[in-house]
């Protein structure tokens, strides 16, 4: 039992602290539940993106193999070495349950040859198809990077929130209730002692 003065002022102060802690505990629990819901949404999206990316990547690699068979490795590598200047992705910040998380998206801009970074004269249509298929992957790869970072940040915040909830639920709130009970008992004991003392004084005055 921590050292505490059993006064009415101290009792009132601890009751207010208990009310605040109880309200904070409920808010943190609600936050924890909502973060868990959001976390599951992003986990499902992560799995979905991985399936889509693997499928698109498999198709793109198949088309690239056909292009290599038609053009030859040397011609294919020469075509792929000519690259256009690519715009960096757009990085923004959004808020999920007071957690600032990244949102990475592809920058929309003019692209050469409809997204192809080489001339058409000596290239195969199979290569065109393969490169365009790879270009389709970029928005999903950016989203996957965002989603996985969001999942990691939400997991960290959920753990911090869980520790705060447990500290309130199992340490702070029970301790406050114990203090309130202790002060209340002490005040009741003091009131009974005062009542008995007053009755004795009254009896002595009556006998005199």
pLDDT tens sequence across 63-78 = 778 777 777 777 666 6
Count the residues in the chain: 208
Tell whether the model's pLDDT for residue 89 goes beyond 70: yes
Task: Provide the whole-model pTM.
Answer: 0.74
For residue 94, what are the β-bridge partners? 101
Q: Is the pLDDT of residue 110 over 80?
A: no
> What residues contact 123, with CB distance under 8 A and at least 6 apart?
71, 79
Question: pLDDT tens digits, residue range 47-60?
Answer: 999 999 999 888 88
Inform me whether the pLDDT recorded for 1 exceeds 60: no
- Residue-level pLDDT at 84: 44
The confidence band for 32, taking pLDDT boundaries of 50, 70 and 90, is very high
Residue linked to tokens 């050469």: 112
Residue with tokens 């753990």: 159
Dihedral sign, CA of 183, 184, 185, 190?
A: positive
CA 66 – CA 47 distance, rounded (Å): 29
Per the CB < 8 A criterion, the answer to whether 11 and 184 are in contact is yes
SS3 per-residue string spanning 18-67: HHHHHHHHHHHHHHHHHHHHHHHHHHHHHHHHHHHHHHHHHHHHHHHHHH
Please tell me the predicted confidence (pLDDT) of residue 108.
67
Q: Is the pLDDT of residue 111 over 50?
A: no
CA dihedral sign, ordered 34, 37, 41, 43: positive
Task: Note whether 154 and 38 are within 8 A (CB).
Answer: yes
Q: For residues 32 and 96, what is the distance between their CA atoms, to the nearest angstrom?
A: 12
**Beta carbons of 38 and 96 less than 8 angstroms apart:** yes
Tens-digit pLDDT profile for residues 130-156: 777 777 888 899 999 999 999 999 999
> How do the domains of the chain map onto residue ranges?
8-201
Q: Is residue 28 within 8 Å of residue 159, measured between CB atoms?
A: no
Q: Are 79 and 122 in contact (CB under 8 A)?
A: yes
Which of 3.40.190.10, 3.40.50.2300, 1.10.287.3240, 3.40.50.20 is the CATH number of 8-201? 1.10.287.3240
Q: What is the mean pLDDT of residues 82-96?
A: 73
- First-to-last alpha carbon distance for the chain, in angstroms, is 45
């Amino acid at each position: 039992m921590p050292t505490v003065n059993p006064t009415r002022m101290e009792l009132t102060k601890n009751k207010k602290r208990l009310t605040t802690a109880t309200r904070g505990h409920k808010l943190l629990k609600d936050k924890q539940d909502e973060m868990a819901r959001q976390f599951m949404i992003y986990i499902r999206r992560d799995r979905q993106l991985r399936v889509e990316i693997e499928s698109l990547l498999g198709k793109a690699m198949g088309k690239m193999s056909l292009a290599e068979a038609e053009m030859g490795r040397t011609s294919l590598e020469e075509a792929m070495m000519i690259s256009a200047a690519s715009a960096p992705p757009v990085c923004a910040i959004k808020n999920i349950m007071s957690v600032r998380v990244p949102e990475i998206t592809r920058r929309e801009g003019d692209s050469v040859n409809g997204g192809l970074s080489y001339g058409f004269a000596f290239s195969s249509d199979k290569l065109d198809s393969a490169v365009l298929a790879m270009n389709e992957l970029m928005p999903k790869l950016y989203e996957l990077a965002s989603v996985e970072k969001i999942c990691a940040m939400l997991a960290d915040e959920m753990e911090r929130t869980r520790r705060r909830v447990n500290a309130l639920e199992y340490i702070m709130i029970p301790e406050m209730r114990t203090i309130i009970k202790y002060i209340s008992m002490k005040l009741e004991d003091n009131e009974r002692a005062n009542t008995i003392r007053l009755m004795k004084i009254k009896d002595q005055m009556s006998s005199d």
